[in-house]
Structures are given as C-alpha cells and as structure tokens.
C-alpha cells in the first residue's frame, strides 16, 4: 500500500557536501569578452564571433558530476527555448579537467540540452570570463560585455553550513536579467552570487613535493571517504583514482578546511565513537600541502592496495530481501517530493531475530534516506489508515499536541524503527548476540525521502535482513527516543532552546545516538542524568546539518540505571540569517513537513544486561531498595485500576507490565496461570522477547506430574524463590530457569478458580520483603478481576 505523507523533501542533499560550497567568486561585470573558440562534444568548433548577431549570449558553466549543475541542466534547456525567439543564444561550457567528452555528451542528452555544450580544455575560457563555480552563468550583450553574472535562480542553493531547496522558486534571476536586457533596459540586479561546485582547474604539479597522491592522499581518502565516494554509492562522484581526485582537489581542500567533510558533527569534547570519521589535524595539513604543491600524483607504485567492497551488500549476505513495492516509484526531475510510504507484508510466520540489516536504494542518485519500521500485528498508527480515517486521526493528534498530549506515528508505540540508510548512516550490523526483534505476522513500512537530480528516475529500493538463531541471541536491541512535540519556535528567534526527556524505568545500556531536527535545527546535546542529580554529557553536535542523518555509535555502551533519565537539549535558528529557513517570519511548531520542525533524540538501547555477572550494588534490585528506603514507593491508583482489569485483553495486561516496571524494575516477566490436571495454562503473559524465546509465551503449555505453580495456586501465602535452577524437579520452574533467576508467586482466585500471579526476574534475590509488599497488592487487584470471556471459558461458562 502506498501513500504520500506530508513531509517535503529537499530537492538535493548532502551529496553536495564535498562538491559544493559558496564562496565569493570574481566579479566580471563590465568585462568585455573579445572572443574564443571551443569544440563541442561532437568535435565541432564554435566561436563567440558566430553569435555577434544575437542580442544576448548566455555562457553557462556546468559540470557533469556536480549535483547542483545536474539539477539546473533541464532548467537551462527550458530557458534557452524561452528566450531564443527573442534573440538570445545559449552556450554551455565544461571547464572541469575531470569531465570527459563522453560524460559531457551524456550530460547534454540526459538533460535535453539542444544548444552547444563545449569542452574548455585547460580552463582557458573560465579564466577569461572569471568563472569559478558550476553552475554559474554570464550574460553578454551584443558588444560582448558582461551584463549579468551569477546564479540561475534562487530555488536551490547552499552556503557554508546549510543546503536548501525551496518548494518553488521566487526569483528567476537569469530570466529577469535576460528580459530586461532584451527589452533595452538596465539589468536591475546584475550580480547574484553563484553557488555550486568549484571548477576543477589544471595545475602545475611540483615534481619534488614530498606529499603526493600516491603516497599520502590516497590513503587518507581510502580511510575517510571512499566508502561513499566510489562507483555505485551515494556520493555523486568517485575518489578512487588520481584522475578523479585531482579535478576535485580545490573543492576537497575547501570542504575539509570548513569541517563539512568527512561528515562528522560530534564535538570531540564528549564521548568516543566506533564510527568516528573526522580527519585529524595532520591529515588536513597533508591535504593543504598537497594542494599547495599543485596536487602531484607521485609514484603509482606507492599506492595502497585497493580496498575491497561488496558490490551488492555492505552487510553480510542477507537471508531475506524485501522490496518496497512490486513496481518502481517515479521520482520527478526537479522540485520537492513529499515523503512516500510503502507497507509490505513479508509473510513472517514465526518470530525473527535480526542480527544485521541494510536499506539498499534502487537508485542512489535520488534516494536521500530510507527508514524501515516494523508494524506488529494489530498495531495502531496512521500509516495503516487512509482517506477520512487518516484525516480524522491527524486532526485529533493536532488537538492533542496543542494540549501537550498525543503520539507521533511512526517510531512510536508498538511501531519501531529497525533499519535506515542516509548520508552518514552505515548498515545496522549489531554486536554479536545482539539483535532486533520482529514478531510473527509483522509488516514492514518503508519511509522514502527522494531528492530529484535533474532527470526523471525510477526507484525500487529494498531492505536486506540477516537472521540469527534464537539460541544465539543474548540481548534485544530497540530504538527509542527522547521527544518533545509541544513546542513553538518564535518567528525570528536565532537560538531557541527545546528540551526533551526519556526516563529509564529499567537499567538500560545505551548503544548509539541519532539526533533529528529539520531545517531550523542548529545544535543538539545528550546528557545522562543519574538519580542523585549527577550529569554526564554523552554527545554534543554544535552545528547540526539536516542533510546528514548521522548515527553516532558509542565505543562502549553507557549504562543508564533505573531511575536515571536522558535529557536532550536542542537549539533552533528561525531567523533570516539561516538561509535554509523556509520562512523566518512565522512561528514554528511540530510537524512532519520539512518547513515545520521535529525534536527527537533517537537512541539504540538494550535492557538485556549481563545480570549474572553484575555487581550486587549495581543491580536493579539494589536500586529498588534504595528507592524503597525513602518510603516513597506505593501502588498508585492508576496501577490498581489497570490491575483490576488486567485480564480484559493482552493490551491491558501489557500496560500493567510497563507500569509495574516503573515501580519494581527488576520484574522481567509477569504471568497469570491456572492448572488443568497435569497441564499448566497461561491466561496472560508479558515479558521481553528474549525471555520468551527461551521459555515460551502465552500459548505455551507446560506438562508434568509435579507442577510448582499448581501448588502455589492452592497455597495459603506467597512463595519466593531467591535462586532458580534448571535442575529443579518441577517442570515449570526448570523451564523458567532457562532464562530467569528468581521468582515470586501470589495465590489468587479468578472466576472461582484457583490461580497464581507470578513475577520473575533475571536477577537473583530480586524479591525482598519491600518488593513483595507491592507485588502482593498488584496480584490481589488482578484477583478481583470481573468475569471476562477468557476467564469464564475456564469453567465452560
């Protein structure tokens, strides 16, 4: 099923990062261009003198690999047709040393350019005119004098620190200049600074330089850049050979100096990360020295051995590949594309544990990011709706947000992120024994963010999944978030703070951090605040860039004890100084569209800790006892009400389980059971998937002559096991001991039948008197459950 969301996509992306920046070029206004001769890609010579009869000549400097030049290729073709009848001629000029005749021919054909496209060998015409960027246009009048210089229009652009794409253009700068010139008027705005890629100029290399491409630069690129900058990957051009690299030498030095490349925005002050790709000061100095020496190649025998990459997958070969749809999606040549959603049923007939996953774009040139979510059977969410029902829920969510309530759709509740790819996001290859969980019957939802590249393109992306044997899984990984959607950023505010918090009811290991905002996002910080108020900064991004959705993988997991909280602080720039800002005159609230805002502190976590080797004072039970000593722990009215209706549905029982986790965090499994002869039946069960994979779920039945839980249902008082063992004679207890270490059992009566409410923990000695006092109250409330269809069935009612 396909539906369009209300999220607008940038028209071009972080692929521009290496190839595009805006710096002031040479102002050539008033310069008279006497003449030149260049060959087009067919070998035919063209001279400027041939066009002296024209009222205006447009010289458009382009590049075959520059993303911005690709976007404006079709627009140049349209403008040429618009103004040729009024006496204007267009000439495209490629001055890049790295662009071949074959590539120039392909550029012209792809973008429908019918006017001459010329190759400027040794960039002589670029030097003559004063061109520095692609795309950059120069309008000559009948005398050959430059009357306009700069950008084509204002729809796409970038500056140091921000890329932007407007839903529609506001200023047709080139068209306006041509119209005025052809109407015999002065050009009102003769100079509009061009944005784009630096022209790859010819250089005279220093043969004596100690720094060469072969000896040093190739190694730096291989370690920092080639993962993306190679054939078939997301980067717009390869950096795997000297001939490619030398044409981008100026650009490369510039973006490295500015800190845009390699893409890494975390401050070095806080945290250490597995995937840290920032360049050292020594590496940056080598690049500057190489450029100053004319970018010499050196001796090719000094080159490092080529790094081998899989042509198909960066992760291990997947066990299952799921495509987003049966038919490809058509991405338009230009403009803004709303997020596209595709829901797929892979036909999962059993639970799956995913050890690695990779989202693979069908056409990398137009896919900015892919997020794949798991939607368990019966999950609610607007992604499963359509038409009036969808609009009705959106309206309700909007009202809820105004009240400071409500959810957020994808990634919230039971719908969980399992995989993603974007500039800066590697495949999800989990640590050994740690996996994402997919319940049987789940569907996958693809969220697609497309970025037009100047050519209509077909895309059929997919996700690859590698499965693990359940017996090899030691911990479940989940994506969670600290989120705030009840904020408003004032119009014109240049540093507006927004905070969000996530409280940990159970001891949890934090594995990675992924901040998310939109175009006004300025900075982001994660702090872990312990129960005693101690604060630890995990990561800070002082200069956020929406175009790079980077996941920062912690070098070592960070333990968040029960009762601690993750606090996130974001700052937003809603001023006119932020050139990516869609509208600085309006206040901004939460919304899906990129001209609205989001504030999400994503993080990967695992609550499946190594409890057996944990120090006694670090256990969840120890934390619970510390809280209980203050006398503040009580069974709330809400918990009591939910407990009294806990058997109404699996959903209600799940709510009780989550609430109980905030009160007695060492409880890992809770169930209600009755016996039928020598068979144990479970009325309700809630537990982590990892525990369920080892001991079974609600559908499981345990058979044996001696069942401990049958005895406990008839007992006069609660029973506690401080240490369970697989060698226990009772079949039910030995089964649970496969994953659990202690238990507590409270006898109750349900619909006139003896039953037992059991609490289980992966920690030993998890149920001291302080915990039992609370758990008995909860169990007694469950015992007061009115008759339901499920409980009545026990007695054949």
pLDDT at 386: 39
The span from the CA of 681 to the CA of 794, in Å, is 10
Over pLDDT 90: what percentage of the chain? 55
- Residues 347, 350, 354, 357, Cα dihedral to 10°: -10
Reference 264, options 605, 66, 551; nearest CA is: 551
- Same domain membership, residue 679 and residue 717: yes
* Lowest-confidence pick of 73-87, 194-208, 320-334: 194-208
Q: Name the least confident of 393-397, 743-747, 783-787.
A: 393-397
Q: Are residues 605 and 624 in the same domain?
A: no
Residue 356 has pLDDT above 70, yes or no: yes
pLDDT at 315: 84
Taking residues 784-791, report their average pLDDT: 70
Q: Is residue 164 domain-shared with residue 49, that is, in the same domain?
A: yes
Does the bond joining 262 to the residue before it have cis omega, within 30 degrees of 0?
Answer: yes
Q: Within this chain, do residues 481 and 604 fall inside the same structural domain, yes or no?
A: yes
- pLDDT tens digits along 4-32: 332 333 333 344 444 333 334 578 999 99
DSSP string, 674-714: EEETTEEEEEEEE--HHHHHHH--TT-EEE-S--HHHHHHT
196 phi-psi bin (left φ>0, alpha ψ -120 to 50, beta other): left
Which domain CATH number covers 24?
Answer: 3.40.30.10
Angle of CA points 753, 757, 760, to nearest 5°: 155
725-744 burial string, b = 16+ CB within 10 Å, else e? eeebebbbbbbbbebbbbbb
**484 neighbors 498 (Cβ within 8 angstroms):** yes
CA distance 285 to 273: 23
Confidence at residue 103, expressed as pLDDT on a 0 to 100 scale: 94
Q: Which residues have CB under 8 Å from 573's CB, separation 6+?
A: 493, 494, 495, 496, 520, 522, 581
Is the backbone of residue 373 left (phi > 0), alpha (psi -120 to 50) or beta? beta
Domain C-terminal end among 269, 302, 335: 302
Residue 712 lies in a domain: yes
- CB proximity list for 44: less than 8 A, separation 6 or greater: 116
Which pLDDT band, with edges at 50, 70 and 90, does 58 fall under? very high
The answer to whether residue 532 sits within a structural domain is yes
Model confidence at 56: pLDDT above 50: yes
The pLDDT value recorded for residue 424 is: 53
Q: Pairing relation of β-strands 56-61 and 88-94?
A: parallel
Q: How far apart are CA 545 and CA 521, in angstroms?
A: 7
CA distance 552 to 275: 7
State mean pLDDT over 248-271: 85
User: What span, in angstroms and rounded, lies between the C-alpha atoms of 240 and 29?
Assistant: 39
Two tokens, residue 628: 């209980």
Q: What is the 3-state secondary structure (H, E, C) of 102-141?
A: HHHHHHHHHCCCCCCEEECHHHHHHHHHCCCEECEEEEEE
Whether 390 has a pLDDT exceeding 70, the answer reads no
pLDDT band at 47 (very low <50, low <70, confident <90, very high): very high
**Mean pLDDT value across residues 141-154:** 96
Q: Is residue 398 part of a domain?
A: no
Q: In the predicted model, what is the mean pLDDT of residues 700-727?
A: 85
Question: Do residues 693 and 475 touch, judged by C-beta distance below 8 A?
Answer: no
Q: Which of 754, 758, 679 is nearest to 718 (CA)?
A: 758
Q: How far is CA 706 from CA 235, 542, 574, 719, in A?
A: 65, 63, 69, 16
Q: How far does Cα 580 stand from its chain's mean position?
A: 19
Token output for 747: 């006898």
For range 696-724, the mean pLDDT? 84
The confidence band for 619, taking pLDDT boundaries of 50, 70 and 90, is confident
The last residue of one of the domains, among 302, 334, 369, is 302
Distance CA 626, CA 620 (A): 10
**Which residues, in sequence order, are bridge partners of residue 137?**
60, 150
Helices (H), 547-649: 620-628, 637-644
Cα separations (Å) of 622 from 669, 721, 744? 18, 17, 17
Quote the tokens at residue 411.
């990634």
pLDDT of residue 10: 38
Running DSSP on this structure, what letter comes out for residue 304? P
Same domain, 540 and 687: no
Q: How far apart are CA 543 and CA 161, in angstroms?
A: 8
Residue 151, both tokens: 């950008």
Average pLDDT on 131-141 reads 96
Q: Are residues 537 and 592 in the same domain?
A: yes
Q: Are residues 730 and 791 both part of a single domain?
A: yes
Q: Helix, strand or coil for residue 624?
A: helix
Structural domain containing residue 293 = 213-302
Give phi and psi for 496, each to the nearest 5. -80, 125
With tokens 């994953």, the residue in question is 739
Count: domains in the chain: 4
Backbone angles phi, psi at 272, to 5 degrees: -125, 145
Residues 49 and 118 reside in one and the same domain: yes
With beta carbons less than 8 A apart as the criterion, state whether 213 and 290 touch.
Answer: yes
Q: Which residues, listed in sequence order, are joined to residue 775 by a DSSP beta bridge?
A: none
- Mean pLDDT score, 410-421: 70
Percent of the chain at pLDDT above 70? Answer: 88
Q: Is pLDDT of 404 > 50?
A: no
The answer to whether residue 162 sits within a structural domain is yes
Sign of the alpha-carbon dihedral angle for 417, 419, 423, 425: positive
Range of weakest confidence among 177-181, 388-392, 619-623, 755-759 = 388-392
From the list 485, 489, 445, the residue with the least C-alpha distance to 463 is 445
- 27 and 176 both lie in a single domain: yes
Residue 213 exposure: Cα atoms within 13 Å on the Cβ side: 22
CB 221 within 8 A of CB 178: no
For residue 177 the two structure tokens come to 């200049």
Q: Residue 417 in 3-state DSSP?
A: strand
Same domain flag for 580 and 628 = no
Written as six digits, the tokens of 278 are 């920032």
What is the predicted pLDDT for the residue at 423?
62
Burial of 545 (C-beta count, 10 Å sphere; 0-12/13-18/19+) = buried
Q: What is the mean pLDDT of residues 712-740?
A: 90
Strand, helix or coil at 68?
Answer: helix
The pLDDT score that the predictor gives to residue 159 is 59
Say if residues 11 and 452 touch (Cβ distance below 8 Å): yes
Neighbours of 280 (CB within 10 A): 10
Tell me the CA distances in angstroms from 127 to 158, 306, 541, one per residue in order: 24, 36, 40
One domain, residues 653 and 582: no
- What's the rounded Cα separation, in Å, for the pair 433 and 431? 6
What's the pLDDT score for residue 392?
47
- The answer to whether residue 432 is domain-embedded is no
Identify the pLDDT of residue 788.
Answer: 66
- Per-residue confidence band for 406, with pLDDT thresholds at 50, 70 and 90: very low
pLDDT at position 475 over 80:
yes
> Pseudo-torsion of CA 375, 6, 363, 109, nearest 10°?
160
Nearest C-alpha neighbor of 314 from the set 260, 365, 364: 364
| Position 695 confidence tier, pLDDT thresholds 50, 70, 90 | confident
**pLDDT of 409:** 47
Q: Averaged over 430-449, what is the pLDDT?
A: 91
In a domain, 538, yes or no: yes
Instruction: Indicate the residue among 150, 166, 198 that finishes a domain.
Output: 198
Q: Please confirm whether the linkage preceding 135 is cis (ω < 30° from 0).
A: yes
Helix (H), strand (E) at residue 548: none
pLDDT band (50, 70, 90) for residue 158: low
**CA 709, CA 755: separation in Å to the nearest integer?**
8
Give the residue ranges of DSSP H helices in 160-310.
173-182, 218-224, 242-247, 249-258, 281-292
Whether residue 336 is contained in a domain is answered as no
pLDDT score for 162: 53
Structure tokens at 611: 């409890």
> Quick one: average pLDDT of 472-477?
89
Higher pLDDT, residue 392 or 171: 171
Domain CATH number, residue 625: 3.30.450.40
- Residue with token string 């921000």: 162
* Nearest residue to 362 via CA among 230, 237, 232: 232
pLDDT tens digits, 493-543 = 999 999 999 998 788 999 999 999 998 999 999 999 998 899 999 999 999
CB atoms within 10 A of CB 602: 20
For residues 418 and 357, is the Cβ–Cβ distance under 8 A?
yes
205 in helix, strand or coil?
coil
Average pLDDT, the chain: 86
* 264-321 residue pLDDT tens: 889 999 999 988 888 888 999 999 999 899 999 999 999 999 888 766 788 889 999 9
CA 744 to CA 761: how far, in whole Å? 9
Q: Give domain status of residue 264, yes or no.
A: yes
Q: At what angle do helices 769-783 and 620-628 cross, to 10 degrees?
A: 90
Contact predicate 772/742, CB 8 Å: no
Q: How many residues in the chain?
A: 797
Q: Which of 67-71, 464-468, 668-672 has the lowest mean pLDDT?
A: 67-71
Cα gap 5→411, rounded to integer Å: 15
* DSSP symbol at 614: S
Same-domain status, 495 and 630: no
511 Cα distance to chain centroid: 15
């Amino acid at each position: 099923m396909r539906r369009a969301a209300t999220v607008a996509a940038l028209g071009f992306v972080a692929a521009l990062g290496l190839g595009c920046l805006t710096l002031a070029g040479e102002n050539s206004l008033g310069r008279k261009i006497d003449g030149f001769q260049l060959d087009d890609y067919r070998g035919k010579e063209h001279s400027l003198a041939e066009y002296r009869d024209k009222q205006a000549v447009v010289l458009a400097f382009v590049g075959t690999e520059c993303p911005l030049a690709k976007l404006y290729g079709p627009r140049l073709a349209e403008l040429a047709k618009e103004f040729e009848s009024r006496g204007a001629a267009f000439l495209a000029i490629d001055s890049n040393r790295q662009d071949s005749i074959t590539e120039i021919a392909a550029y012209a054909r792809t973008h429908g350019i019918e006017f001459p496209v010329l190759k400027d060998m040794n960039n002589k015409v670029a030097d003559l005119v004063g061109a520095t960027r692609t795309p950059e246009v120069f309008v000559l009048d009948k005398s050959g004098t430059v009357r306009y210089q700069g950008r084509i229009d204002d729809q796409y652009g970038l500056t140091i620190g921000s890329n932007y794409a407007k839903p529609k253009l506001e200023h047709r700068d080139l068209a306006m200049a041509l119209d005025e010139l052809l109407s015999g008027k002065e050009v009102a705005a003769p100079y509009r600074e061009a944005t784009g890629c630096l022209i790859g100029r010819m250089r005279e290399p220093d043969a004596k330089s100690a720094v060469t491409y072969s000896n040093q630069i190739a190694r730096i690129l291989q370690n920092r850049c080639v993962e993306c900058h190679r054939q078939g990957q997301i980067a717009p051009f390869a950096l795997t050979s000297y001939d490619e690299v030398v044409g981008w030498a100026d650009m490369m030095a510039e973006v490295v100096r500015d800190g845009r490349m390699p893409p890494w925005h975390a401050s070095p002050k806080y945290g250490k990360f597995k995937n840290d790709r920032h360049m050292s000061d020594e590496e940056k100095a080598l690049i500057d020295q190489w450029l100053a020496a004319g970018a010499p190649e050196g001796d090719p025998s000094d080159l490092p051995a080529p790094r081998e990459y899989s042509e198909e997958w960066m992760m291990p070969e997947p066990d299952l590949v799921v495509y987003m749809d049966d038919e490809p999606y058509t991405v338009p040549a230009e403009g803004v594309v709303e997020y596209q959603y595709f829901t797929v049923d892979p036909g999962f007939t059993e639970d799956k544990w995913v050890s690695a996953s990779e989202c693979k774009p069908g056409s990398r040139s137009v896919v900015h990011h892919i997020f794949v979510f798991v939607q368990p059977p019966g999950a609610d969410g607007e992604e499963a709706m359509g038409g009036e029902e969808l609009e009705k829920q959106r309206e309700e969510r909007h009202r809820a947000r105004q009240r400071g309530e409500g959810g957020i759709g994808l990634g919230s509740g039971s719908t969980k992120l399992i995989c993603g790819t974007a500039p800066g996001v590697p495949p999800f290859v989990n640590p050994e024994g740690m996996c994402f969980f997919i319940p049987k019957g789940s569907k996958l939802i693809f969220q697609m963010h497309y970025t037009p590249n100047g050519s209509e393109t077909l895309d059929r992306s997919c996700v690859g999944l590698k499965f693990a044997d359940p017996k090899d899984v030691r911990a479940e990984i989940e994506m969670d978030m600290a989120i705030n959607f009840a904020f408003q950023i004032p119009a014109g505010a240049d540093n507006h703070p927004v905070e969000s918090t996530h409280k940990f009811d159970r001891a949890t290991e934090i594995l990675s951090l992924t901040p998310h905002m939109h175009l006004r996002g300025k900075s982001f910080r994660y702090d872990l605040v312990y129960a005693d108020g101690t604060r630890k900064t995990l990561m800070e991004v002082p200069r956020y860039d929406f175009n790079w959705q980077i996941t920062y993988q912690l070098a070592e997991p960070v333990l968040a004890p029960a009762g601690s909280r993750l606090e996130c602080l974001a700052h937003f720039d809603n001023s006119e100084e932020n050139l990516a800002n869609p509208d600085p005159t309006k206040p901004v609230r939460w919304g899906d569209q990129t001209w609205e805002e989001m504030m999400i502190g994503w993080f990967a976590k695992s609550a499946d800790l190594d409890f057996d080797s944990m120090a006694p004072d670090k256990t969840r039970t120890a934390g619970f006892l510390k809280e209980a000593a203050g006398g503040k722990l009580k069974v709330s009215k809400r918990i009591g009400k939910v407990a009294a209706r806990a058997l109404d549905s699996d959903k209600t029982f799940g709510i009780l389980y989550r609430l109980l986790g905030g009160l007695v965090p060492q409880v890992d499994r809770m169930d209600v059971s009755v016996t039928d002869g020598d068979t144990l039946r479970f009325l309700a069960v809630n537990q982590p998937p990892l525990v369920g994979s080892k001991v079974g779920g609600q559908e499981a039945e345990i058979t044996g002559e001696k069942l401990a839980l049958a005895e406990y249902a008839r007992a006069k008082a609660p029973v506690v096991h401080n240490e369970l063992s697989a060698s226990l004679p009772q079949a039910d207890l030995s089964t649970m001991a496969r994953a659990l270490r202690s238990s507590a059992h409270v006898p109750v009566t349900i619909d006139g039948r003896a039953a037992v409410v059991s609490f289980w923990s992966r920690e030993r000695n998890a149920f001291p008197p302080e915990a039992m006092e609370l758990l008995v109250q909860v169990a007694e409330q469950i015992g007061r459950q009115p008759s339901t269809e499920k409980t009545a069935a026990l007695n054949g009612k």
